[in-house]
Structures are given as structure tokens and as C-alpha cells.
Amino acid sequence: MPDLTGKTALVTGSVQGIGFAIAKAVASAGARVALHGLPNDPKADTAVQAMLDAGAAQARYFAADISDPDQIDGLMAEVADWGGVDILVNNAGIQHPAPIADVPRATWNAIIAVNLSACFHTMQAVMPEMEKRGYGRVINIASVQGLIGSIHKAPYVSAKHGLVGLSKVAALEYARSGSKAKGGVTVNCICPGWTETELIGPQIEARAQQIGGDRDAAIADLLSEKQPTCRTSDPAEMGALALWLCDPVAHNVTGTQIPVDGGWTAQ
């Protein structure tokens, strides 16, 4: 496990699911953890305590609607005052499946704003300082949908493909920052497939009802359409991968897209 003592990590969308698991992983390595979510989120206090229990040097919750660039500016200024950002994990995302013909303009704009534009704004705010320090990690949570197409997900797929492209550009621009000893500045995408979060619960339950109520069988049946292993990933697995990417030993792993998808994108 890398020692992240003295490092500060900002993880957007981190009160549950993949974001929470990644935040907990970096907390376990001694980082200061800046959690993020919407204002008045009832899970905020519990999430902060979970970070402290996991070993975070400090933990604090920062509220902002990151579909609004002005609120992003405020968020990044607050975190900078708290100690800056050594590790940025852009995890927050929204989705609204619908055929192209039925996607409202406001929905398109919101999904692009949260899933892509917000990542650009947070990266722009912190990467110059990472370069000065000689160490920085940007981990963008894309998706298999950032590598392939999928019907009824035009805004989401577009945003995630854009995030992959943005990450490649940033990785190249900062490739010579820092050194092997310091760890350099890297930018990578993690691309999860089916992952066991609250978001997929309703789909699993619906399929279980269709095939007789067996949840494990429902997962295997649901995943057989896409994911060859027919096994979901656990959010903690994304946390373990993100934590490894934070280690200075990963200084030459940059500009990558790492699928955690049971072979989905290998087909």
C-alpha cells in the first residue's frame, strides 16, 4: 500500500458507490480526504466519519452542484484553502437513458456538464499546482461507455468518450512534470463495467423477478448480455486500483484507459 501521508485527495461524488470506495481506499493510506456531494446530502456526516475510521489524516465534506461552473470555482477555492489537491478523482456522474429523438436539450446539457465539463474545470484548477509540486494524480472515472457505444445513452456515451480524450490530452501535456522519485503527474481513466452499486439494484431486482427470484442467477443472466465473466465488480476493487495508481511506482502509467469490465471491451 502506498503511503499517502501529507497528500490531499478530492473525490467528487463520494458519499456512496465507487466514489465512496475510492475515498475510503486513499483514506486507508493516510491521505486527507475532501469528500464532495450536493448541498444538504444526508449521508455527508456518515461518510466523513467513515473516512476517519479508515485512517484519513483529516476528512471534510464540500458541497457543490458541479453542473454549475461558478459552484465548481467555489468548491476548488475552498479545497485549495484547506490544503490543495494532490489527488483528484472525478467520479460524479449522472445518466438518463433515452433514444436520441427523445433526449431533452436540458438533459443533454446537464449530462455533458456533470460528466465532462466539470472534469475539465477541476483539472484546470489543480494540475498547474501538481506540476509545481512534481507529484499529482488525476483519476477520471469513465466507463466502458467511454470505449464503446450503447443505444439510448447518447449524452452519457458522448461525455465519457470526451472524458477519455480529455484525459489523454492532459496526460501528454503534463507527462514531463516531476520525476520518478517524486512520482510525476499522471492522468488515467478507470472504465468500470457492471459494478455492484445502488444504481444497478433496481435492474437486478427486476431481472430476478423475471427469472424466479434468485438474485445471483439474475446477475449472471443480466451480465451475460455484455460481461463475459458474468460477475459484477465491487466498488472496493475500483478503490484498490485507484490507490495503486496513486503510488509513485505508477509514474509511467499515464494516458491509459483501464477497463474493469470482465472482458466486455475485449469482445
- Which residues are tagged catalytic? 156
Q: Is 92 exposed, middle or buried (0-12, 13-18, 19+ CB in 10 A)?
A: buried
Q: Rg of the chain's alpha carbons, rounded to an integer?
A: 18
Q: Residue 141 corresponds to which cell in the numbers above?
A: 472515472
Contact 11, 35 (CB under 8 A): yes
Q: How far is 190 from 265, CA to CA, in rounded Å?
A: 13
CA torsion 44→113→152→193, rounded to 10°? -50
Q: Max alpha carbon distance in the chain (Å)?
A: 58
The torsion angles phi and psi of 69, rounded to 5 degrees, stand at -55, -35
Distance of CA 113 to the CA centre of its chain: 15
Contact 1, 55 (CB under 8 A): no
Classified as helix, coil or strand, 144 is helix
